[in-house]
């Protein structure tokens, strides 16, 4: 995969502005933690693993600035910046995980923290790519030859450090000659499926057919899909899965139609401190994302809107959770705990 959505370059962080794809591929350079928090909040970067990696580099920028201002007290003065970063996208657990992993390095650092923290952020990035490739292999192993796959939102290289979670499985299955057709939901209101997933797959020469979310059940009814493969922003200890709004209805329909449902995410997305999906905070964004298309108002004047960004799919509707540590089929708390004991 040639797409590199996140990279450290020339003393700062560079991110592909995903709001402009597919029409324009532009990198933005960031040299402050406040700007990185804004990039996460404003959807320049999105996808739980990518948000976590971006936050790790944000910690590097924060530590560099605080050490320059107050080298004897940077660990204390950085706390407000870490809180700001953590609040940028509350549902994505990888954000909190990455910040905490970076924070755990503080105690062992003597002198300038830049080199040590930058090495840790780069390690988080490299580990994510390796995990994606491993998940791709494991997930592809579940897919039968001649299968067609439907995916939702974007869980590819753009949403991760590279290669992708759900799209990593699709890439690996395509390379193994198992995939007959890939379908992608448009994924309103940000159209991540239409703009990002389709673009990524076409970059790799993988044909993709877009559908409106409302067409998914009818597609399954006609027997044209064997697997739903999605990513996740947080997985609870019992195997409940928070993902892009619209995932839950796909899982309900998949169960009705006998279509298998796979969730692909690194173990950093699993939150064993959250007993079930009922405890996962669900981010709600501005109504304008629904009432407008870009800058153009499309809704009737006076209409209000409810705009949750995520929903929760119960573990009972999930056939397999794939992580870099292995595959959990028909997930429940005991199986999740057994898998996470290896982390």
Nearest to 184 by CA among 226, 220, 206, 153: 153
Tokens 């897919």 belong to which residue? 143
Nearest to 234 by CA among 283, 170, 188: 283
Nearest to 1 by CA among 177, 159, 203: 203
Residue of 81, 128, 185, 233 marked catalytic: 233
Counting other chains too, the contacts that 39-42 makes at CB distance below 8 Å and 24 or more residues apart are 39/15, 40/85, 40/88, 40/89, 40/95, 41/88, 41/89
| DSSP letters spanning 120-155 | HHHHHHHHHHHHHHHHHHHHHTTSPTTEEEEE-S--
Catalytic: 233? yes
The angle formed by the CA atoms of residues 217, 298 and 296, to the nearest 5 degrees, is: 125
Nearest to 248 by CA among 308, 301, 158: 308
**Distance of alpha carbon 97 from alpha carbon 37, whole angstroms:** 15
Angle between helices 33-41 and 79-86 (to 10 degrees): 10
Compute CA 92 distance to the chain's CA centroid, rounded to the nearest angstrom: 8
Nearest to 167 by CA among 192, 197, 131: 197
Torsion of CA 99, 139, 179, 23, to 10 degrees: 0
Burial category of 198 from C-beta neighbours within 10 Å (exposed 0-12, middle 13-18, buried 19 and up)? buried
What is the chain's alpha carbon radius of gyration, rounded to the nearest angstrom? 20
Q: How many CA atoms lie within 13 A of 312 on its CB side?
A: 19
Catalytic residues: 233
């Amino acid at each position: 995969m040639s797409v590199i959505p996140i990279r450290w370059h020339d003393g700062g962080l560079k991110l592909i502005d995903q709001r402009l794809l597919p029409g324009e591929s532009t990198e933005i350079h960031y040299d402050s933690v406040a700007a990185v928090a804004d990039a996460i909040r404003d959807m320049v970067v999105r996808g739980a693993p990518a948000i976590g990696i971006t936050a790790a580099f944000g910690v590097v920028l924060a530590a560099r600035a605080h050490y320059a201002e107050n080298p004897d007290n940077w660990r204390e003065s950085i706390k407000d910046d870490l809180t700001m970063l953590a609040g940028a996208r509350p549902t994505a657990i990888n954000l909190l995980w990455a910040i905490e992993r970076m924070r755990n390095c503080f105690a062992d650092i003597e002198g300038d923290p830049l080199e040590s923290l930058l090495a840790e952020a780069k390690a988080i990035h490299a580990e994510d790519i390796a995990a994606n490739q491993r998940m791709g292999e494991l997930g592809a192993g579940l897919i039968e030859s001649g299968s067609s796959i439907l995916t939702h939102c974007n869980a590819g290289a753009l949403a991760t450090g590279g290669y992708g979670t759900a799209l990593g499985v699709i890439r690996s299955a395509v390379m193994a000659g198992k995939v007959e057709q890939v379908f992608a939901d448009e994924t309103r209101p940000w159209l991540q499926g239409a703009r990002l997933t389709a673009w990524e797959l076409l970059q790799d020469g993988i044909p993709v057919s877009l559908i409106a979310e409302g067409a998914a059940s009818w597609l399954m009814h006609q027997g044209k899909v064997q697997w739903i493969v999605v990513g996740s922003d947080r997985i609870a200890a019992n195997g409940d899965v928070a993902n892009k709004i619209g995932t839950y209805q796909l899982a309900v329909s998949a169960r009705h139609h006998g279509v298998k449902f796979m969730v692909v995410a690194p173990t950093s997305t699993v939150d064993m401190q959250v007993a079930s999906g009922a405890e996962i905070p669900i981010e709600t964004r501005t109504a304008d994302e629904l009432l407008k298309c870009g800058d153009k108002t499309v809704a009737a004047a006076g209409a209000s809107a409810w705009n949750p960004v995520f929903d929760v799919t119960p573990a009972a509707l999930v056939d397999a959770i794939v992580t870099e540590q292995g595959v959990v089929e028909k997930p429940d708390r005991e199986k999740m705990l057994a898998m996470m004991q290896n982390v």
